[in-house]
A and B are shown apart, each in its own frame.
Chain A
């Protein structure tokens, strides 16, 4: 009888320790998940900021300014334009 009781006590002790450990592990994992989710949010914000930057750099006025002033580009005059025509097979 005493043996059985000791055995049951040990079993209960083990189970409770197991419960504590798994609870701890669960919290650790949960925190890791939280951290990753926070990182995902941060990256999302950064993506938005980069997209904003992209479209700010890529606005048409800026492109035109650089093309005209820095690269000395201009639309071709009619006299310098050759229009390519598709052959009989290639036309729509």
Chain B
């Protein structure tokens, strides 16, 4: 109204209506607010980029960075000459993610043919509402390549190691085996699991679009392959022991058996064979009897093989001499209510003959001269009642009852190896006392490369020598085991024939054994043979275990190239020999 009245023309910008008078603090406030927001943004950016950048860094890296696992293989097990007894080689496992694997029936059939499985079974496996399923494990890489060539969705493969045992059942108990996840389950595989196991390494890399590694980022953790283990085992001797054992068991229709060969100088176990055995490469339908490493896990009453220890103790304590007469007539001896008898009655025998003829009565009479505590101490010293600590699973200690509870009859029976139980490996070890000069060596599963192992002195060297002579007599004509002789070598050893305990009573079943060493002039090998329940008529240690001992010992000595210390019994001399025959 005023406009028209006063007739004053105004420019738009100068319109009085627009002339608002704003208070100056408002613009300043706005400027401050905007500045503050910038500050907050910068602060946040600083926080994310500098102070707390891990999370984003990681997220970013995960877009291009890959962590790869570098697998390490399990160590090899080899014999003392380096021949491989167990080795891992990579195999492939085929797996499927059933939800992603939508195969046509034709594809399923194709896959089944390659994997050598039933198509229906395969389809059934893929049908399940599982997230992940293994189709076949441990197949050769060549087959896995064929599977990969099919390019099926949802089917993948992994590298896995499989363990092979080229020597198979021959060394089964010694080497043992591993489970599917490379875990040692038996034998040396379990005993040295820690050393054999490799440590997988890892590395972070950048991969390009084609999956090729372009760059290493971060540190590399190198994989560590497992260590190789060199056993003391000698493949040749092991084979000889194993095949002889198998033969003897078949001939005697025996239930089971074991052979142990020990190097006298080092205590190394050169061979350890058991029957029945199994093939570690194919372990379907395994029974406990096959799996048992009898030489280590089974104890038996050793019988007469213990007599030399009783006699040695008596010699050591000057209770008897080599040629002291012991009256063994009439072949029976009554102690308390029990009667001990000899298989063949003898008259008066020297101490040496007690061993040679294996007289129970003689051994019992010698034991009667000894205090129970000393006898127990001796058994303890030679390792009876202790586990051998070889590292084998299921090692047993055997049974030696505390001396305080011994009755006189028990001491008498223990003198000839009843009422006490040991494992074959313990028995073999105990005989190192006689094969050496009275000291008992610890046994070793692995090859001893340097240093001589120290033994514990149990008998005096003189006693050991005298017992050695007695043991040599036992193998000669007139002894209990002429069948244990080895042509060309002087052999010393002792038979054992023990009744088996069944439900606390002695049954009419036997364990025939023989432990001996050769060459008697400078012993190198101990061979211990145990045959459980021979069932073909013969049951004496000398008849059953003796020939096996002879065969194993003879061929082992030849294999090792040990000089014969006895003249070969030559039927027809091809050439008159002038020089002295093979010396010691």
Contact = CB atoms under 8 A, between A and B. Distances in A.
Interface of A: 27, 30-31, 34, 45, 48-49, 51-52, 54-56, 58-61, 64, 75, 78-79, 81-83, 85, 87, 91-92
Contacts of B572: 79
A28 B111 CA distance: 38
B272 interface: no
Q: Is the interface of A mostly helix, strand, loop or mixed?
A: helix
Contacts of A49: 89
B581 interface: yes
Contacts of A51: 76, 84, 87
B318 interface: no
B551 to A, nearest CB: 10
B579 A82 contact: no
Interface string B551-584: 0000100000001100111111011010111110
B202 interface: no
Q: Closest 4 interchain pairs by CB?
A: A60-B239, A55-B166, A79-B571, A56-B166
A59 B213 contact: no
Given A51-B84, A91-B583, A59 B568 contact: no
B235 A83 contact: no
21 contacts: A30-B215, A48-B73, A48-B89, A52-B89, A54-B84, A55-B83, A55-B84, A55-B167, A56-B166, A59-B167, A60-B170, A60-B235, A60-B236, A60-B240, A75-B555, A78-B568, A78-B571, A79-B570, A81-B488, A85-B579, A85-B582
A61 B239 contact: yes
B87 A52 contact: yes
Nearest to B212: A31
Contact of A59 (B90, B166, B555, B575): B166
Contact of B214 (A27, A55, A59, A60): A27
Contact of A31 (B213, B240, B568): B213
A48 B568 CA distance: 45
A55 B564 CA distance: 31
Contacts of A45: 89-90
B167 to A, nearest CB: 6
Given A31-B213, A60-B239, A78-B487, A52 B581 contact: no
A83 B582 contact: yes
Contacts, number: 82
A45 B570 CA distance: 53
Given A52-B164, A58-B83, A78-B568, A83 B243 contact: no
Contacts of A61: 170, 239, 243
A85 B240 CA distance: 27
Contacts of B236: 60
A30 B214 contact: yes
Q: Give chain B's interface residue range (CB within 8 Å of chain A).
A: 35 or more
Interface in B214-239: 214-216, 235-236, 238-239
Contacts of B83: 55, 58
A91 B581 CA distance: 12
B480 to A, nearest CB: 23
A64 B236 CA distance: 11
Contacts of A87: 579
Contacts of A92: 563
B87 A48 contact: yes
Nearest to B83: A55
Given A60-B170, A82-B574, 19 more contacts: A27-B214, A30-B213, A30-B214, A49-B89, A52-B87, A55-B166, A59-B239, A61-B243, A64-B239, A64-B243, A78-B487, A78-B488, A78-B568, A78-B569, A79-B572, A81-B568, A81-B570, A83-B564, A83-B582
A49 B91 CA distance: 11
A31 B235 CA distance: 44
Interface string B152-178: 000000000000101110100000000
Contacts of B240: 60
Contacts of B204: none
Contact of B215 (A27, A81, A82): A27
Contact of A52 (B166, B487, B582): B166
A55 B239 CA distance: 14
A31 B208 CA distance: 11
A11 to B, nearest CB: 28
Nearest to B70: A41
A91 B579 CA distance: 12
A83 B212 CA distance: 68
B88 interface: yes
Contacts of B84: 51-52, 54-55
A55 B582 CA distance: 36
A56 B89 CA distance: 14
B564 to A, nearest CB: 6
A56 B87 CA distance: 11
Nearest to A34: B213
Nearest to B583: A91
A79 B214 CA distance: 74
A34 B211 CA distance: 13
Interface string B56-100: 000000000000000001001000000111011110000000000
B221 to A, nearest CB: 15
Nearest to A53: B166
A45 B580 CA distance: 55
A61 B242 CA distance: 10
B240 to A, nearest CB: 8
Interface in B230-260: 235-236, 238-240, 243
Nearest to A81: B568
Contacts of B563: 92
Contacts of B235: 60
B132 to A, nearest CB: 27
Nearest to B78: A55
A91 B90 CA distance: 52
Interface string B528-570: 0000000000000000000000000001000000011001111
Given A31-B213, A78-B570, A85-B581, A59 B170 contact: yes
